[in-house]
C-alpha cells in the first residue's frame, strides 16, 4: 500500500508534468516586434492562416539538416519558385487578411516577394557571410569566415530552434532563423525606438490632429542628419548648421513641424543618434517647442532620410501632396538635387522617394514625398 506522503508527492509530480505538457509556449516580444517591423505581410499571412503546400516541403528540408548550421541557413533560403508560389497564395487572400502596414502601393503579392527576398538577404549576410550593402556600417559583428562568425551562426541556429514553438511567429522557420541571426549579432537598430510615435513623437502627433495644413507653405521642414566621424562628438558642425537654419525657418512660420532624420551611424558604434541630438539642440539652444518636433531616428543614408520622413508624415496624417522644405548644408543639398542621387535611390530602393522641386537657396530645396516610400523592405534589416 502506498503511504499518504508518497501518494501526495506522486500526485504533485503528475500535476507538474501535466502543466508542463500543456504549458503555453514562451513568446519573445522582441522577436515579435522585430518580425512585424521587417516582415509585416509575412506576419499577416500567419495570422490569416495562409499555408500553401510549399511550407510543408520547406519544413522537411530544414528538419533534414538536423541543426547543422550551414545546412539550416542554406535550407532556409527561398528559391524563385517557392517565392512565386507563396506570394501567389498571398495575392489570393481577402483584403481583410492585411493590416495597413502590409498594403504596399504595388500590391500584397509584390510586398511578399520583397519581404522574402529581404529574408534571403539576411540569411546570406548574417548566416553565410555575404557582403552587406554597406560593409563599413552594416553586417555581422565578426568577419565572415572567422571562428567567432562561425560560432555566432551556430548559436543563432540553436536560438531559432529554441523559439520554434513561438506562436507569435507562425510562418516558415526561416523567419526565426533570420531573427535569431540578427539577435545573435545584437542588430536591433530597426526597433530601437519602437513604438516610435507613442514613445517619442506623441506630443507632435497629437498636435498634428488640429493643424490646418492649408495655413502653411510647407507641411514640414525636413532636416537630414550629417553625423560626425569623431566617436565622442554628439553633433557635427554641419549638423549644428542644419539645426540653426531649420530653427530660423520655423520661426518664420513656414511650416508647423520640423522633422529630424538620422540614426546612430557615423562612426560605426557611436552612441549618438543624429535625430535625437538635433532635437536636443533645437529645444535647448533655439527654444523650439517639443510638440513641433518629430524625430525619425532610423535612417542610415540620405536616400532613407527622405524615404523615412515620408513615413512620419503619413503617421501624422499630413497631406503627401504638399511640399516639404529640405534644409541642409550646401554639399548634401547639391547631392540631393543631383542625377547621382536619383540613380542611387533607384539602385538601393528601387524607386525615388519623392520629387525634388525648386531650389530656393544653396541650402534649401522643396520636396514632394511619394507613397512608394511606405513600402517595407527587409533587404536592409537595420532600417527596412
Whether this prediction's pTM lies above 0.85 is answered by yes
What would the grid cell of residue 364 be? Answer: 534649401
Q: Which is more confident, 56 or 11? A: 56
What's the pLDDT band for 3 if we cut at 50, 70, 90?
A: low
CB atoms within 10 A of CB 29: 8
Residue 9 confidence (pLDDT): 53
Q: What percent of the chain has pLDDT over 70?
A: 94
Alpha-helix residue ranges (DSSP H) falling in the chain = 4-21, 29-38, 40-47, 54-63, 69-76, 80-91, 108-122, 147-162, 173-184, 196-199, 202-208, 237-251, 274-286, 302-315, 330-337, 339-348
Domains and CATH numbers, the chain: 24-190 (no CATH), 194-374 (3.40.50)
Does the pLDDT value for residue 290 go beyond 60? yes
pLDDT, tens only, 219-234: 999 999 888 878 888 8
As a whole number, the mean pLDDT across the chain is 92
Q: What percent of the chain has pLDDT over 90?
A: 79
Residue 124 confidence (pLDDT): 98
Q: What is the Cα 68 distance to its own chain's centre?
A: 29
Residue 17 confidence (pLDDT): 57
> What do you get for the CA distance between the two ends of the chain, in Å?
66
Residue 353 confidence (pLDDT): 97
Residue 8 confidence (pLDDT): 56
What's the pLDDT band for 25 if we cut at 50, 70, 90?
A: confident
pLDDT, tens only, 165-201: 887 787 899 999 999 999 999 999 999 999 999 999 9
Among 92-96, 223-227, 228-232, 352-356, the range scoring the smallest mean pLDDT is 228-232
Does the pLDDT value for residue 16 go beyond 60? no
Does the pLDDT value for residue 366 go beyond 90? yes
Mean pLDDT computed over 51-57? 88
Q: Is 236 helix (H, G, I), strand (E, B) or coil?
A: coil
Q: How many CA atoms lie within 13 A of 114 on its CB side?
A: 25
What's the pLDDT band for 22 if we cut at 50, 70, 90?
A: low
Phi, psi at residue 235, to the nearest 5°? -140, 125
Amino acid at each position: 500500500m502506498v503511504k499518504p506522503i508518497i501518494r501526495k508527492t506522486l500526485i504533485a509530480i503528475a500535476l507538474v508534468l501535466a502543466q508542463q505538457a500543456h504549458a503555453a509556449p514562451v513568446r519573445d516580444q522582441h522577436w515579435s516586434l522585430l518580425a512585424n517591423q521587417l516582415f509585416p505581410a509575412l506576419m499577416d499571412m500567419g495570422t490569416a492562416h495562409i499555408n500553401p503546400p510549399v511550407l510543408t516541403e520547406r519544413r522537411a528540408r530544414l528538419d533534414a539538416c538536423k541543426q547543422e548550421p550551414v545546412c539550416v541557413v542554406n535550407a532556409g533560403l527561398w528559391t524563385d519558385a517557392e517565392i512565386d508560389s507563396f506570394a501567389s497564395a498571398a495575392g489570393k487572400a481577402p483584403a481583410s487578411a492585411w493590416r495597413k502596414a502590409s498594403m504596399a502601393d504595388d500590391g500584397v503579392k509584390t510586398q511578399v516577394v520583397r519581404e522574402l527576398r529581404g529574408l534571403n538577404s539576411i540569411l546570406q549576410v548574417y548566416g553565410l557571410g555575404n557582403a552587406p550593402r554597406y560593409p563599413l556600417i552594416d553586417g555581422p559583428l565578426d568577419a565572415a569566415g572567422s571562428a567567432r562568425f562561425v560560432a555566432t551562426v551556430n548559436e543563432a541556429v540553436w536560438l531559432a530552434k529554441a523559439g520554434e514553438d513561438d506562436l507569435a511567429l507562425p510562418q516558415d522557420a526561416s523567419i526565426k532563423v533570420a531573427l535569431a541571426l540578427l539577435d545573435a549579432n545584437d542588430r536591433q537598430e530597426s526597433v530601437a525606438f519602437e513604438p516610435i510615435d507613442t514613445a517619442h513623437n506623441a506630443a507632435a502627433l497629437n498636435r498634428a490632429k488640429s493643424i490646418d495644413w492649408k495655413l502653411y507653405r510647407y507641411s514640414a521642414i525636413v532636416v537630414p542628419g550629417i553625423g560626425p566621424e569623431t566617436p565622442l562628438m554628439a553633433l557635427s558642425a554641419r549638423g549644428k548648421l542644419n539645426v540653426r537654419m531649420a530653427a530660423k525657418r520655423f520661426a518664420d512660420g513656414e511650416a508647423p513641424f520640423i522633422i529630424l532624420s538620422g540614426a546612430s551611424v557615423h562612426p560605426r558604434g557611436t552612441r549618438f543618434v543624429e535625430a535625437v541630438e538635433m532635437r536636443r539642440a533645437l529645444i535647448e539652444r533655439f527654444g523650439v517647442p517639443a510638440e513641433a518636433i518629430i524625430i525619425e531616428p532610423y535612417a542610415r543614408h540620405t536616400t532613407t532620410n527622405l524615404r523615412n520622413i515620408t513615413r512620419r508624415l503619413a503617421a501624422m496624417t499630413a497631406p503627401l501632396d504638399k511640399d516639404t522644405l529640405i534644409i541642409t548644408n550646401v554639399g548634401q543639398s547639391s547631392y540631393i538635387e543631383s542625377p547621382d542621387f536619383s540613380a542611387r535611390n533607384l539602385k538601393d530602393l528601387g524607386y525615388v522617394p519623392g520629387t525634388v522641386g525648386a531650389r530656393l537657396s544653396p541650402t534649401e530645396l522643396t520636396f514632394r514625398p511619394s507613397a512608394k516610400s511606405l513600402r517595407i523592405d527587409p533587404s536592409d534589416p537595420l532600417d527596412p
